[in-house]
Amino acid sequence: MTNDKPVDHHDTHEDVLVHTEGRAAYLTLNRPKALNALSHPMVLRIGEALTAWADDPAVEAVVLRGAGERGLCAGGDIRAIHEDARTGGTASAGFWRDEYRLNALIARYPKPYVALMDGIVMGGGVGVSAHGSVRVVTERSRVAMPETGIGFVPDVGGTYLLALAPGELGTHLALTGAPVGAADALLCGLADHFVPSSALPALARELAADPVHAVLERHVEEAPAGSLAAAREWIDHCYAADTAEEIVARLRAAGVPAAEAAADTLTAKSPTAVKVTLAALRRARRLGPLEKVLEQEYRVSCAALASHDLVEGIRAQVIDKDRDPRWAPAALEDVTPADVDRYFAPLDAHELRLVAAASSQEVVW
């Protein structure tokens, strides 16, 4: 996040400010009152800009940042998804289709893509940043995929990223939705560099004049200590269990306060979402490239749109804010294998197909 104002042409009324300066192009998510939550038009605008810059010899690097002081991006527009799910609409499916295409585009972008992951970076915010080639976190960073708390499942390539984290760290983060700071984001492969938040304005400014590696050399520091490295023993043991029920049992039996707290957190989430998330992560490990995982996530997200728990979870956490969701089924043991399998059923003519683009060197949008 920086408060730098673009010095080039831009429309200050837009939710994504797009401008170029020197050798760099800048994307500023500009909905600070909504914590820069992504809308469908924002996704399309980012994709169009990236596609144009990919072939522009004047643009040597792209910088993504968020307006305001609270975060890069808190995710998608949850209220819009709630209304769509409640009324049986299809707008969210269309949004996800373009959002996941954008995630794949960022992951294969042919130029340095510098994501300034300051403050809150959650859900869709992870999707537009953590697939980039240069991911910068600060002492204020809080990176999370909190979807199980609203009856949803990590998407935007989140199951791909978390499946690649060391040991079972990704499983822990995906099931509990726990946020991580800079050091733990680095450990989990969600970020590359630590830079103090006070240095971000200078870093962003200098990228207009100097190569990315030279600017990073001036600003990168060692991140303050995290907590996950010391917890690897119990995390790797507990989350390696075959089922969600066994994971909870192992957490309860670990004799570690943090493991007990993780069990409490996990069992407060949507039981269906927890089981589907576990299955999605383990399938992601076998699927291969990001595009394959995004295609799977699209199936899962579309199935969630028709579920009770997504509507109920958003109601409890965002709409009514009573923090008392009534999940159905209400317990992990009541979620059957058939309930889980339904989320992975093919969508036939409605499938998201990205793999063809993955085999090409061209940027496809």
Supply the residues annotated as catalytic: 76, 124, 147, 155
Q: Within 13 Å, how many C-alpha atoms sit on residue 146's CB side?
A: 22
DSSP string, 182-206: HHHHHHTTS-SEE--GGGHHHHHHH
State how far the Cα of 149 lies from the Cα of 316, in Å rounded to an integer: 10
Q: Before 211, cis peptide (omega within 30)?
A: no
Amino acid at 339: D
Phi, psi dihedrals of residue 258, rounded to the nearest 5°: -65, -35
Q: 288-293: long-range contacts at Cβ-Cβ below 8 A with a sequence spacing of 24 or more?
A: 289/355, 289/358, 290/103, 290/104, 290/107, 290/131, 290/157, 290/160, 290/358, 291/104, 291/354, 291/355, 291/357, 291/358, 292/354, 292/355, 293/157, 293/159, 293/160, 293/163
DSSP strand pairing (24-29 vs 16-21): antiparallel
- The encoded tokens of residue 71 equal 């975060």
Q: Phi and psi (nearest 5°) for 19?
A: -155, 160
Backbone angles phi, psi at 177, to 5 degrees: 70, 15
Tokens at 345, concatenated: 């059923």
> Which residues have C-beta within 8 Å of that of residue 218, sequence separation ≥ 6?
203, 206
